Amino acid sequence: MSKLAFLYLSHINVRFIILLVNLMLFSYDVFSNGLNNNKLKTIVIDPGHGGKDPGTLGTKRYSKYEKDIALSVSLKLGNYISNSFPDIKVIYTRKEDVFLELNERTRIANKSNADIFISVHCDGFTNSKAYGASVFVMGMSKLKANLDVAMRENAAMYLEDNYKQKYDGFDPKSAESYIVFSLMQNTYLDQSLQLAEYVEEQFAYKANRKSRGVKQAPFYVISRTNMPSILVECGFLTNPKEEDYLQTDQGQNQIAMSIFEAVKNYKLSLESSFSSNNIIDSNDINNKSENNLQSNQVVYKVQIATNLTSIFNDKKFAGIKVEEKLVNGIYKYYVGSNTDKSIVDEMKTDLKNNGFKDAFVVAFYNGKRISTKDALNLQKQNN
């Protein structure tokens, strides 16, 4: 540890040291339990805020605030899941306008042994022109804006009695308090990123919403869950046009349907994957790629991993020709490049059978990511 880091950490009080120890024990417990299995059985949906905590108030042209929209979207999302997959148990942290402490929300998820946790919110900003949807995973970010969003959502603690005692001295508005977050290890980061990417894709390509990307921020509510977890900011209530959209049934249905479609894609990816002891024939995989592709062609690739830091030289990629791209602060790893989706589908199957269980097909047109459905439509039009 550097001298500067030591001096900085030395200012943390005893409560933070105790909290750090608890976090280490929590991480070990999560690691020892491991992922539930390859099947989604239980999903916990967490409508943000509630009761005496209204969340973002918007432009005050409406009587419904963030807490109301988050609840409405969450209930719609749960209904979509239950109607399509009756074997999945959907649990809500709240189903009505009641106040719920942050630690109680994660306690519900952990107690139910949920397979994924989705916290639903609406955004707010001083600039009324800010708009679009964001998806967050747990972690520290160098972007101050992301930390500001987390501080705003974490400020719900101030409405709780004896919050300093409950959260071991954690102060949601103190930058020092977030040191403990930077020391946490998220066992389910890869799975959380994959689910977040599915949501982001649905927002951008299916709901025609401006996607602000997948981001990393220290939200307390997703920091203590022992399962893949995301926090969704559906849009900005401080933007009058977006507020109008979020207040309507149509807007809420589109948001809920987008998240549902993402959950469905995650479910299919999770349940279709299985491990194998076979050795990947990297030459066979790479030979299926075509290197001389024109810029105006639809190109399919297999995405095999995402990470918040570069893992390009990781030994798990040994023998495979991997392409690394940095997109919105997230490193993404692709294999193959072909105009024939059937060939890329075969590549995906090969990769899934050999340990890359999260592999899925993505499409690009003129270097821009598009949905596979749009890609197929483009190819059909050009033929």
Tell me the per-residue pLDDT of 59-96, one tens digit each, with 9 for 90 and over: 877 888 999 999 999 999 999 999 999 999 999 999 99
Tell me the residue type at 31: F
Residue 195, Cβ density class (10 Å: 0-12 exposed, 13-18 middle, ≥19 buried): buried
Mean pLDDT estimate for the chain: 79
Contact (Cβ atoms closer than 8 angstroms) between residue 300 and residue 369: no
Residue 67 tokens, joined: 């807490």
The pLDDT of residue 145 is 61
Mean pLDDT computed over 274-302: 54
Please write the tens of the pLDDT for every residue from 13-34: 545 455 555 554 444 444 444 4
Annotated domain spans of the chain: 3-271, 282-382
Residue 158: helix, strand or coil by DSSP?
Answer: helix
- Compute the distance between CA of residue 214 and CA of residue 345 in angstroms, rounded to an integer: 25
pLDDT band at 184 (very low <50, low <70, confident <90, very high): low
Contact assessment for residue 41 and residue 90, using Cβ atoms and an 8 Å cutoff = no
pLDDT tens for each residue of 35-60: 445 789 999 999 999 999 999 888 87
Of residues 242 and 329, the one with the higher pLDDT is 242
Dmax over CA atoms of the chain, in Å, equals: 68
- Position 5 scores a pLDDT of 42
CB 169 within 8 A of CB 12: no
pLDDT confidence of residue 250: 94
Q: DSSP letters of 187-249?
A: TTHHHHHHHHHHHHHHHHHTS-PPEEEEEEE--GGGTS-SS-EEEEEEEETTSHHHHHHHHSH
DSSP H or E segment with residue 136: strand 133-138
Give the mean model confidence (pLDDT) for residues 270-295: 47
pLDDT at 187 over 80: no
**What pLDDT is recorded for position 320?**
87
User: Which pLDDT value is given to residue 366?
Assistant: 85
Instruction: Pick 3-271's CATH classification: 3.20.20.70, 3.40.50.2000, 3.40.630.30, 3.40.630.40.
Output: 3.40.630.40
The DSSP secondary-structure symbol of 20 reads H
The pLDDT of residue 294 is 52
Summarised one tens digit per residue, pLDDT across range 362-372 is 888 888 887 77
Predicted TM-score (pTM) of this structure: 0.66
Third-level CATH fold of 282-382: Alpha-Beta Plaits (3.30.70)
% of the chain with per-residue pLDDT over 70: 75
pLDDT of the residue at 9: 45
- Is residue 48 a contact partner of residue 159, using CB atoms and an 8 Å limit? no
| Confidence at residue 282, expressed as pLDDT on a 0 to 100 scale | 43
Vertex 285: Cα angle to 376 and 368 (nearest 5): 35
* Residue-wise burial string across 210-236, b where 16 or more C-beta atoms lie within 10 A, e elsewhere: ebbbbbbbbbbbbbbbbbbbbbbbbbb
Sheet holding 360-365, edge to edge: 322-327, 330-338, 298-307, 360-365, 368-370
98-107 pLDDT, tens digit each: 999 888 999 9
251-272 pLDDT, tens digit per residue, is 999 999 999 999 998 998 777 6
Position 176 scores a pLDDT of: 64
Report pLDDT for 67: 96
> What's the angle, vertex CA 296, arms to CA 291 and CA 301, rounded to 5?
50
pLDDT reading at 188 higher than 60: yes
pLDDT at 326 over 70: yes
Q: pLDDT confidence of 297, banded at 50, 70, 90?
A: confident
What's the rounded Cα separation, in Å, for the pair 50 and 96? 8
Average pLDDT on 301-306 reads: 86
E-assigned strand segments in 253-382: 298-307, 322-327, 330-338, 360-365, 368-370
